[in-house]
């Protein structure tokens, strides 16, 4: 078995080194071979240079690191889609920069695939999940409102759509992401709707989670963009994704 780990990065020069070091320590201790793909989403800081320098130091025959760059900022959804196209693993995972979820929880994620799920998503809403560092109040309130909108209007039943820690079988990842159109943060919703249309099996698993205060999300403009993306996704869900 080979695992591909995708880390999307936009202006993450201060954090990406910690991400790669933690990924290396975890993956080197596993029995499977793996690759780590850093997808530089048009960063305007030193993300590319820092990621490349550290990747060269950490790459081994067992765990290979690559930094991919398409030159402009397209959004997290585009970055993940781009990474899936390049991934060579039998399982394809992605994790947000910032170590919100320790990489050791890939053990639980992989177990869900081995037990028959086509993909598995980390959930902050499961009772077994431990929140180590809370979101600020405005984000917590916004998350609850968002969840009710997604559940009621979009028909998504997964308890936590936005936790940036997920894994797919290669077949499921290719089927989902080749149909996806969303470039921004709402790509997770589109991925779940596509998976539902394709009758793919999903599982959720509990994690330890810490809020990353160094977020790229703007509470006003980001929210407006998210609702535009949700409207487009809802429209496409009636006619496409087959």
Closest CA to 21 of 65, 62, 61: 65
Count other C-beta atoms under 10 Å from residue 79's C-beta: 27
Half-sphere exposure (CA, 13 Å, Cβ side) for 70?
16
Q: What angle do CA 118, 109, 92 make, to 5 degrees?
A: 60
**Tens digits of per-residue pLDDT, 144-167?**
777 777 766 777 889 999 999 999
Question: With a cut of 50, which residues of the chain have pLDDT below it?
Answer: none
Query: Is the CB of residue 233 less than 8 Å from the CB of residue 193?
Result: yes
174: left (phi over 0), alpha (psi -120 to 50) or beta: alpha
Q: Is 220 exposed, middle or buried (0-12, 13-18, 19+ CB in 10 A)?
A: exposed
- Burial pattern 140-150, b for ≥16 Cβ within 10 A else e, equals eebeeebbeeb
pTM > 0.85: yes
pLDDT of residue 214: 73
Domains in the chain, start-ordered, CATH in brackets? 2-239 (3.90.550.10)
């Amino acid at each position: 078995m080979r695992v591909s780990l995708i880390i999307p990065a936009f202006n993450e020069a201060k954090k990406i080194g910690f991400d790669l070091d933690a990924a290396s320590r975890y993956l080197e201790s596993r029995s499977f071979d793996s690759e780590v793909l850093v997808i530089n989403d048009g960063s305007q800081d030193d993300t590319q240079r820092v990621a490349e320098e550290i990747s060269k130091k950490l790459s081994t025959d067992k765990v290979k690191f690559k930094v991919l760059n398409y030159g402009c900022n397209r959004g997290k959804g585009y970055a993940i889609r781009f990474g899936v196209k390049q991934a060579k693993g039998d399982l394809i995972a992605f994790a947000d920069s910032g170590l919100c979820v320790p990489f050791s929880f890939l053990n639980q994620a992989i177990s869900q695939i081995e037990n028959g799920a086509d993909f598995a998503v980390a959930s902050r809403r499961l009772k077994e999940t431990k929140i180590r560092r809370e979101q600020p109040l405005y984000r917590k309130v916004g998350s609850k409102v968002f969840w009710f909108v997604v559940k009621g209007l979009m028909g998504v039943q997964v308890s936590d759509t936005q936790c940036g820690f997920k894994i797919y079988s290669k077949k499921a990842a290719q089927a989902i992401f080749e149909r996806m159109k969303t470039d921004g943060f709402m790509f997770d919703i589109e991925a779940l709707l596509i998976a539902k249309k394709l009758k793919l099996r999903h599982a959720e698993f509990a994690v330890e989670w810490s809020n990353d205060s160094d977020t790229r999300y703007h509470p006003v403009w980001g929210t407006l963009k998210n609702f535009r993306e949700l409207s487009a996704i809802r429209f496409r869900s009636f006619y496409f994704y087959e």
